[in-house]
Amino acid sequence: MKIHEHQALALLQEAGVPNAGGQVAFTVEQAVQAARELGGERFVVKAQIHAGGRGKAGGVKLAEGLSGVEQAAGEILGKTLVTPQTGPSGKVVHRVLVAPALSIAHEYYLSILTDNETGCTLLMASTQGGTEIEEVAKNNPDKILRQQVDAVAGLRGYHITNLAAGLGLEGEAARDFAAVVRGLYRLFWDKDCSLIELNPLVRTQEGRLLALDVKMNFDDNALFRHKDIAALRDPQEEDAREVEAAQHKLSYIPLEGSIGCMVNGAGLAMATMDIIEAFGGQPANFLDVGGGASAEKVAAAFRLLLADKNVRCIFVNIFGGIMRCDVLAEGIVQAAKEVSLPVPLVVRLRGTNWERGAEILAQSGLAITYEPDLAKSAHLAVSLAKGGVQA
């Protein structure tokens, strides 16, 4: 799960990690009030969306005085930001962060995440902080310092010393850096994070070390034990269809194609999309119905697929393991009657009781194209989506 920058900054504050601070505002008036309370002359107004690349898209503005904040907030709030991470349709800005502008002497990069290859947590740091960090990693990998931290032995002084030395930090700066790393590591474990990224972590002209921008992701599997974090979820940032799918325990990702897919298991769902594409079609989505698909769940899945106006054909591909194909076929028939499908439906069932499942579909009197062979059924779906004749 992702959260907003202003929420992440508040968590850093709680963990004792120095940061640029600021206040969140949902309206221009609130933004001006926030600036008034913060005091000072120069501010930065930052769009709060769950995607990076805001600065280049015009979502971060420097503002002089309260009138500057008023103007900047007016320009950013309600604007649709398109960045490389938002997708082509972009994201509407519903809230901004107002923070004091800092005089920056240097920008560093610092992150902590789980490294699936080694099974450790990994600290990464660089003197080349800022928006070009991925370029730095690609072209000058030596500029990215890494320290593996064992999950059982934990964070030790030498990890921090190695990073600080690599960053060229000494004396007070090194001590400030140690406090930042310790705070991050503690927060990472306390809140079951999957990533905390300070980019940049800045040294100000006054010599202070502050987190200026932070990205914080959390392990969805662990949200059950962090009600405070779960409460930070912002549904406005999520695709409405994905939210609805999640309510029915369906895993759904919309795509651009014309064949609506309903499959059990993530691996088979991906392989189904792949075979559709290999045969010249385009999948409209990824949809994993999981184990045990009731008529209710199938109907919810059909409705979800049909809400996508690009869908010209629905392809159901189920391998019944524990899920019995006859039970699933009954669910499909019931759901198809309930939803009354305006597009052709191709069903491929294999595995437990598939023959009985095929009978149920055949006897339903509904226009369902049943084909047990994977390749043949995928070809049928592709041809029907292109307006081909029903077999």
Q: Which residues are catalytic?
A: 109, 197
Which residues of this protein are in contact with other proteins, per CB under 8 A? 52, 85, 109, 111, 113-117, 119-122, 124, 133-134, 137-138, 144, 150-152, 189, 192, 194-195, 197, 199, 215, 217, 219, 221-222, 224-225, 253, 255, 263-268, 270-275, 277-279, 283, 286, 319-322, 350-352, 373-375, 378
What's the chain's length in residues? 391
- Phi and psi, residue 343, nearest 5°: -125, 160
Using CA atoms, how far apart are residues 99 and 222, in angstroms rounded to an integer?
Answer: 31
As measured in angstroms, the least distance from the Cβ of 157 to other proteins is: 20
As measured in angstroms, the least distance from the Cβ of 231 to other proteins is: 18
As measured in angstroms, the least distance from the Cβ of 122 to other proteins is: 7
Which residue, 322 or 389, is less far from other proteins as judged by CB?
A: 322
As measured in angstroms, the least distance from the Cβ of 225 to other proteins is: 7
Which residue, 37 or 117, is less far from other proteins as judged by CB?
A: 117
Identify the CA nearest to 73 among candidates 100, 102, 101, 97: 97
Neighbours of 256 (CB within 10 A): 11
CA distances from 326 to 77, 312, 320, 361 (A): 53, 26, 9, 9
In order, the DSSP letters of 106-147 are EEEEEEEEEETTTTEEEEEEESS-STTHHHHHHH-GGGSEEE
At 122, the amino acid letter reads: L
Which residue, 64 or 190, is less far from other proteins as judged by CB?
A: 190
Using CA atoms, how far apart are residues 208 and 10, in angstroms rounded to an integer?
Answer: 18
Which residue, 272 or 369, is less far from other proteins as judged by CB?
A: 272
